[in-house]
């Protein structure tokens, strides 16, 4: 069985003495090299740092000189990889070849700097002469923290692109934690300029930071939520604790296996053969009450974290509940529409509503983004995001096919075709992998990219051959990329049938602009009330809304308008909101007390002394 040190250092590159033309490791030479780096130019600085790291990792150098160099670029590498990652976020998946290369570069940058720190760690552990390695204990603490930091950022980048972490990444993190435990330095404080919310951390806290993100299952989160939680855990990880498992502990204790190289999750102690690998995590202070207390701090309110996400996190970090409905394998082709506007389109008989046709300006994100700039009837132009976002010409051999792993190369070279964009409105065929009473696991196995996101609305039909079918409406709860050419999603069904309608806010006896909405029926057996799905922005609780529905009356399709009031929010995301609602006449008591009467409207008195709500006019100013 390998020792911790053997597991950490087995894949380090062979080293030779640097030549005269190689990188100079004198302190003044490093300072001069660093001062000439154009850090504002991502392309040039990333290329320079990557090639220098790759070169210096193959040179025999005193650990103090190598440490000075790595500490100089530690924070810039974190900043550069963060900026590179922004080029890949919110794109259709699977990523195309260029953006796959960017994702690989992010991983390689973190890997190369980690290799440098590992070489220092190896030299420190091998140093047995006291005066040759002064401050050895403190330096080991710093180096282990740095490696875990870069390994964690590499894992987070994979999670944000819904990829599985690379081989050996989790094993390295676990082995470094165990080494720090062996050296009794888990709680030693280390300053890290790359941290965003705090200036000092410990090995235990930074280990718990990435561990808790993984346990919260990032495949069930939006991309921006994953990083927001990771960043917030710089502080919140101090609320948790981890220690060797004791046989006397509660059988429901939350334990993890540190001997594996897979995504950590809570397991039963009897399922782990190596008892030394069983560690218990104490998350009692990460329950909802504690999280909401910290959530009201000024720092947290600047992040993307919201109350609903805190509830999800508190459940993830508690005793994991059993699945309510078991899944069974199933094979079928399903017709799928993703996004509120596309779901509305198929529910409306594969056609846009009449009020949209004269001036179509909406698509999945409420704005149509055409491939080419077009001029609409009202004189406004719309432009594609793809045409305005420019990615610099990527440099060097890192982005050649030979730099890709075999799995990724297989996907990129499949049929030697570049990825295409799919028609956003047309329903697409997905393959069902398994199903349960409450949902499906679906597979997208296609050369094209597709705009699927966690938290997005989805409609599913079991009749792929028919133009119009019976549609189930649900939401995407998790998403995972399989290699580079497949996507798996988990879908929770909300309602077995739904109606496409339009909504408009009713303010001061006037209807506002119409938008697409979905009417979901009540399901008494599931104790689910009737609900209304609206756009992600623009509607809130207690809004008065005009609901426009087309019904068959006396053999004619007739528009039927109903005034309703939005009640509690059942779900809210950047993609859609879901409200309970009631008839306005029921909400205000009687038919005579309608929503337009002065005594029943929201107090909007225009007075300098009143707290007037100006939400309805900001867009008109």
Spell out the domains of the chain, with CATH numbers in brackets: 4-240+283-316 (no CATH), 328-495 (no CATH), 499-604 (2.40.10)
Q: Is the pLDDT of residue 331 over 70?
A: yes
Q: Is the pLDDT of residue 608 over 80?
A: no
Q: Are 586 and 499 in contact (CB under 8 A)?
A: no
Please report the pLDDT score of residue 399 as a whole number: 40
Q: Is the pLDDT of residue 571 over 70?
A: yes
Please report the pLDDT score of residue 158 as a whole number: 94
Q: Residues 610-620: what's their mean pLDDT?
A: 36
Least confident of 140-154, 244-258, 342-356, 398-412: 398-412
Model confidence band, residue 611 (pLDDT cutoffs 50, 70, 90): very low
Least confident of 335-339, 417-421, 448-452, 487-491: 417-421
What DSSP line would sit under 103-122, residue for residue? HHHHHHHHHHHHHHHHHHHH
Instruction: Write out pLDDT tens, residues 493-546.
Output: 888 888 999 999 988 777 888 899 999 988 887 778 899 999 988 888 899 999
Instruction: Write out pLDDT tens, residues 247-281.
Output: 766 666 678 888 888 888 777 766 666 777 788 89
Q: Residues 29-47: what's their mean pLDDT?
A: 92
Q: Residues 421-430: what's their mean pLDDT?
A: 73
Q: What does the alpha-carbon distance between residue 76 and residue 34 come to, in Å, rounded to a whole number? A: 10
Q: Residues 104-111: what's their mean pLDDT?
A: 94
Please report the pLDDT score of residue 300 as a whole number: 52
More confident residue, 598 or 449: 449
Please report the pLDDT score of residue 278 as a whole number: 85
Q: What does the alpha-carbon distance between residue 473 and residue 477 come to, in Å, rounded to a whole number? A: 13
Q: Which two tokens stand for residue 234?
A: 């710089």
Q: What does the alpha-carbon distance between residue 399 and residue 359 come to, in Å, rounded to a whole number? A: 43
Q: Is the pLDDT of residue 296 over 70?
A: no
Residue 491 β-bridge partners:
440, 476
Edge-to-edge strand ranges of the sheet holding 241-244 = 241-244, 278-282, 255-257
Please report the pLDDT score of residue 289 as a whole number: 81
Most confident of 344-358, 419-433, 526-540: 526-540
Q: Please state the pTM of the whole predicted model.
A: 0.75
Please report the pLDDT score of residue 2 as a whole number: 66
Count the neighbouring beta carbons within 10 Å of the beta carbon of residue 41: 12
Q: Residues 446-467: what's their mean pLDDT?
A: 83
Least confident of 82-86, 125-129, 397-401, 428-432: 397-401
Model confidence band, residue 319 (pLDDT cutoffs 50, 70, 90): low
Q: What percent of the chain has pLDDT over 70?
A: 76
H or E segment to which residue 212 belongs: helix 203-215
Q: What does the alpha-carbon distance between residue 266 and residue 7 come to, in Å, rounded to a whole number? A: 24
Residue bearing tokens 């009356």 = 553
Model confidence band, residue 63 (pLDDT cutoffs 50, 70, 90): very high
Please report the pLDDT score of residue 558 as a whole number: 75
Q: Residues 316-332: what's their mean pLDDT?
A: 65
CA distances from 142 to 9, 90, 128, 200 (A): 17, 34, 19, 11
CA-wise closest residue to 597 among 544, 560, 538, 521 = 544
Q: Residues 466-489: what's their mean pLDDT?
A: 83
CA-wise closest residue to 539 among 515, 563, 508, 510 = 515
More confident residue, 321 or 499: 499
Q: Are 158 and 164 in contact (CB under 8 A)?
A: yes
Q: Is the pLDDT of residue 565 over 70?
A: yes
If you average pLDDT over every residue of the chain, what do you get? 79
Q: Is the pLDDT of residue 476 over 70?
A: yes
Strands 576-583 and 531-535: antiparallel
Please report the pLDDT score of residue 292 as a whole number: 80
Q: Is the pLDDT of residue 97 over 60?
A: yes
Instruction: Write out pLDDT tens, residues 383-392.
Output: 333 333 444 4
CA-wise closest residue to 70 among 145, 134, 130 = 145
More confident residue, 262 or 157: 157
Please report the pLDDT score of residue 594 as a whole number: 42
Q: Is the pLDDT of residue 371 over 60?
A: no
Q: What percent of the chain has pLDDT over 90?
A: 38
Q: Residues 576-595: what's their mean pLDDT?
A: 74
Instruction: Write out pLDDT tens, residues 400-410.
Output: 444 444 444 44
H or E segment to which residue 474 belongs: strand 471-482
Q: Is the pLDDT of residue 234 over 60?
A: yes
Please report the pLDDT score of residue 528 as a whole number: 82
Contacts of 586 (CB under 8 A, 6+ apart): none
Instruction: Write out pLDDT tens, residues 64-73.
Output: 999 999 999 9
More confident residue, 35 or 462: 35
Q: Residues 396-421: what's their mean pLDDT?
A: 43
More confident residue, 573 or 346: 346
């Amino acid at each position: 069985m390998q020792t911790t040190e053997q597991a950490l250092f087995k894949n380090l590159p062979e080293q030779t003495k640097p030549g005269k033309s190689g990188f100079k490791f004198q302190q003044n030479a490093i300072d001069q090299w660093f001062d000439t780096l154009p850090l504002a130019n991502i392309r040039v600085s990333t290329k320079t740092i990557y090639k220098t790291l790759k070169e210096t990792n193959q040179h025999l150098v005193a650990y103090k000189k190598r440490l000075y160099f790595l500490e100089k670029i530690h924070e810039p590498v974190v900043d550069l990889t963060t900026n590179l990652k922004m080029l890949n976020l919110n794109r259709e998946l699977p990523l195309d070849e260029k953006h796959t290369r960017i994702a690989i570069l992010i991983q390689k940058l973190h890997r190369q700097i980690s290799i440098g720190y590992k070489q220092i760690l190896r030299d420190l552990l091998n140093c047995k002469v006291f005066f040759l390695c002064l401050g050895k204990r403190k330096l080991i603490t710093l180096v282990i923290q740095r490696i875990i930091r870069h390994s964690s950022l590499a894992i987070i980048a994979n999670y944000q692109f819904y990829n599985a972490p690379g081989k050996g990444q989790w094993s390295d993190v676990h082995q470094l934690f165990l080494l720090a435990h062996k050296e009794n330095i888990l709680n030693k404080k280390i300053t890290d300029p790359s941290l965003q919310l705090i200036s000092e951390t410990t090995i235990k806290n930074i280990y718990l930071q990435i561990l808790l993100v993984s346990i919260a299952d990032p495949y069930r989160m939006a991309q921006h939520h994953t990083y927001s939680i990771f960043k917030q855990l710089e502080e919140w990880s101090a609320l948790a604790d981890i220690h060797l498992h004791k046989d006397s502990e509660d059988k429901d204790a939350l334990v993890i296996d540190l001997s594996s190289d897979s995504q950590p999750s809570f397991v039963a102690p009897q399922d782990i053969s190596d008892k030394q690998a069983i560690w218990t995590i104490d998350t009692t202070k990460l329950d909802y009450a504690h999280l909401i207390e910290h959530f009201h701090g000024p720092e947290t309110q600047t992040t993307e974290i919201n109350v609903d996400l805190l509830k999800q996190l508190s459940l993830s970090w508690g005793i994991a509940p059993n699945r309510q409905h078991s899944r069974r394998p199933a094979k079928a082709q399903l017709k799928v529409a993703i996004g509120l506007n596309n779901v509305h389109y198929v529910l409306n008989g594969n056609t846009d509503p009449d009020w949209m046709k004269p001036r179509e300006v909406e698509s999945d994100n409420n704005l149509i983004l055409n491939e080419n700039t077009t001029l609409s009837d009202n004189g406004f132009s719309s432009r594609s995001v793809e045409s305005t976002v420019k990615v610099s010409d990527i440099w060097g051999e890192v982005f050649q096919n030979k730099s890709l792993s075999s799995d990724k190369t297989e996907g990129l070279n499949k049929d030697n075709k570049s990825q295409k964009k799919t028609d956003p409105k047309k329903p697409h065929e997905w393959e069902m992998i398994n199903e349960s009473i409450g949902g499906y696991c679906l597979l997208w196995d296609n050369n094209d990219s597709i705009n699927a996101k966690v938290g997005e609305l989805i409609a599913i039909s079991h009749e792929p051959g028919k133009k119009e079918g019976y549609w189930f409406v649900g939401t995407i709860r998790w998403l995972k990329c399989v290699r580079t050419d497949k996507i798996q999603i988990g879908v929770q069904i909300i309602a077995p049938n739904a109606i496409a309608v339009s909504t408009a806010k009713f303010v001061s006896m006037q209807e506002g602009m119409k938008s697409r909405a979905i009417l979901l029926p009540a399901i008494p057996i599931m104790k689910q009330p009737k609900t209304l799905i609206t756009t992600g922005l623009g509607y809130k609780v207690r809004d008065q809304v005009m609901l426009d529905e087309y019904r068959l009356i006396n053999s004619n399709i007739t528009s039927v308008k109903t005034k309703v009031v939005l009640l509690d929010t059942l779900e809210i995301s950047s993609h859609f909101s879901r409200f309970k609602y009631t008839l306005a006449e029921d909400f205000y008591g009687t038919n005579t007390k309608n929503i337009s009467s002065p005594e029943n409207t929201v107090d909007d008195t225009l007075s300098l002394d009143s707290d007037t709500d100006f939400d309805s006019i900001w867009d008109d100013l």
